[in-house]
Structure 1
Amino acid sequence: MQNSPSNPSAYLGQLLKKPGGVKIGVGVTSPSPELVQMLANSGFDYILIDMEHGPISIETAYRMITAMIGTPAQPWIRVSHNDPAQFKLALDAGAKNIVVPMITSREEAQRAVSYAKYPPQGVRGWGPFRTQYQWQTNMLDYAKRANAETGVIALIEHPDAVRDIDAILDVDGLAGAIPAPFDLSVNMGFNDGPNHDKVRHAIEFVISRIKAKGMEVTSFAVTPAQAVEAMRLGVNNLFLGFDPMYIQASLQLFLSTVSDLNIAR
């Protein structure tokens, strides 16, 4: 058996075959530090802890972030809504980026950024008593770095947000935006997914405006075809969906392969 390289991060990054120049992320809805630890050691660049659509408490989110320490993966948290208390808890748990659902206007984006930043840039309360351990530093060093090294990312999930995308992206301190294909589809009147011209055009328009601002482009891609399309549009980050779909798909692939091999005997 080959020895692993002396740099563990380099070795781990080889475990996940990535398209050239593209960072890869995955979402976790299960309240499981153990699952996060496995994913973080598979070479993902970031892991989104989903507190909007998963039964994850802030205590569990803290332990999930702890499970990523020493791995290449950066911890992101999606809060359930644009609320200052949630931002404070998520950031104090050690999150690097806060993903905010249903941002539809410049004003909502401004509020989100203010909740995430210490004064004078924002209104975040000071108290990184345990965050220092997640960042492996001390409280004062964390407080000095936090505004520059944490980000707010807006989810674009509604036609109003598409219409106001330039105003949203102009908000000082906003790190980026992500068009959310399924929510956008539903809010545009399509309940069967994003494979409609109007939805695709809206997503392409949002991505074009993000690129024009010089921001990194992140795209959801829950199927290989969506990943190929996203790369055609020049994304920097591919967000590959959520844990339940991959656990189920992996088991189905394994069992179907066993069945095919048995039939071939």
Structure 2
Amino acid sequence: MPAPHNPFKSAIANGDLQLGCWLGLADPYIAEISAGAGFDWLLIDSEHAPNDLRSIVAQLQVIAARNSHAVVRPPIGETWIIKQLLDAGAQSLLIPMVESGEQAQELVDAITYPPHGVRGVGSALARASDFAAIGDYLTTAREQICLLAQVENQKGIDALDDILAVDGVNGVFVGPSDLAADMGFIGKPGQSEVQDAVLDAVDRIVAAGKAAGILTLDKELQAECFKRGARFIATDIDVTLFARGIRASCAASRAHLTNK
């Protein structure tokens, strides 16, 4: 029996739109609700959210029961944490702050078993192999793993062509917020210079034959990125959705009851 099929990897390779949402509340209940909302993929974030390996596993489990695909972002692209996430059952990884072709190649090596890579062989203990029930896991896992490199500063933009040239990088995700900060516009990802840099990166990613992705709440930028060929686009964040909704609810209730 081979490793489970990765529909997200196939979809972005085919150029199909994959609509996503960021999960930063670090809770399986929220992940389960989100997985039933209709998004193609959900990003479990452990770079800027209070997730650890156990909370990630819990969210992977509830998402797996629905039709959304889980993508996991570790806090850093180190081999040891990539190994843990893959063994925990993550098939798609978004690695932050990729800044060179050499770093991208190290990430490819980290998701690949020897002799072609350095991923540790411990699948008999792992959820990824259904605890050794998937007999052909070791020889088929790599084909179903999707590696996404996040380019989000000027160094990464400057090295984008080298990153795109690395075989095994399936897509490149542009991070407007960190890029804006690095360009001197912290907190202003809507600045024209930042958006120009984002769109130029999307154009270069698509031209190289890789999948381009982005997270932005700016609907005009979402549409422009899609128009230019970006195909994995996250359009909202659970934290901001809840914060916006709960604040609006309180304000509306107060106004209704006190006329203030």
Same fold (TM over 0.5): yes
2:196 corresponding residue in structure 1: 201
Report the TM-score when normalising by structure 2: 0.85
**Residue range with higher mean Cα deviation, 49-58 or 125-134:** 125-134
How far residue 261 of structure 1 moved from its aligned partner, in angstroms, is: 8.3
1:39 is paired with a residue of what secondary structure? helix
Any idea what the Cα deviations from partners look like across 1:163-211, whole Å, max 9, x if unmatched?
A: 1111111111111111100000001111132222321121112111111
Show the counterpart of 2:44: 49
Q: Flag the 1:234–1:172 CA change in 2: closer, same or farther, 3 A.
A: closer
The secondary structure found in structure 2 opposite 1:173 is coil
For the 8 Å contact 2:126–2:132, the answer to whether it is kept is no
1:29 to partner: Cα distance: 1.7
1:223 Cα deviation from its structure 2 partner? 3.0
86, 89, 104: which one pairs with 1:109?
Answer: 104
2:176 aligns to what?
Answer: 181
Q: Is the contact made by 1:132 and 1:138 (CA closer than 8 Å) also made in structure 2?
A: no
Where do 5+ consecutive residues of structure 1 fail to align? Answer: 1-20
Matched, 1:232 2:227: yes
Per-residue deviation, 1:22: 2.5
Residue matched to 2:10: none
Indicate conservation of the 8 Å contact 1:98/1:151, yes or no. yes
Report the equivalent of 2:86: 91
Q: Which structure 2 residues correspond to residues 7-156 of structure 1 after superposition, within 5 A?
A: 22-128=17-123, 129-132=125-128, 138-156=133-151
- Give the drift of 1:132: 3.9
Q: If the length of structure 1 is used for normalisation, what is the TM-score?
A: 0.83
Provide closer, same or farther for how the CA distance between residues 254 and 223 of structure 1 changes in structure 2, counting only shifts above 3 A.
Answer: farther
Query: Does residue 175 of structure 2 align to residue 157 of structure 1?
Result: no
- SS, match of residue 122 in structure 2: coil
1:142–1:253 Cα change, 3 Å: farther
Q: Could you give the per-residue CA deviations for residues 90-127 of structure 1, whole angstroms, max 9, x where no partner exists?
A: 11111121111111111111111111111233100112
1:130 Cα deviation after fit: 2.9
CA contact 2:77–2:95 (8 Å) conserved in 1? yes
Aligned length: 243
Separation in 1, partners of 2:249, 2:225: 27
Per the alignment, residue 13 of structure 1 pairs with none
Partner SS state of residue 217, structure 1:
strand
Deviations 1:208-240 (A, max 9, x none): 111112222212122333323322333212112
CA distance in 2: counterparts of 1:30 and 1:36, whole angstroms: 9
Q: Within 2, Cα distance between the matches of 1:175 and 1:243? A: 26
Q: CA deviation at 1:64?
A: 0.8
Q: Distance in 2 between matches of 1:28 and 1:249?
A: 15
Shift of 1:253: 4.7
Change (3 A) 1:186 1:123: same
State the Cα distance separating 1:257 from its structure 2 match.
6.4
Q: Judge conservation of contact 1:131–1:139 (CA < 8 Å) in 2.
A: no
Partner in structure 2 of residue 5 of structure 1: none
Deviation track 1:112-161 (CA, whole Å, cap 9, x = no partner) reads 11111112331001122232466x98243322321111121111111111
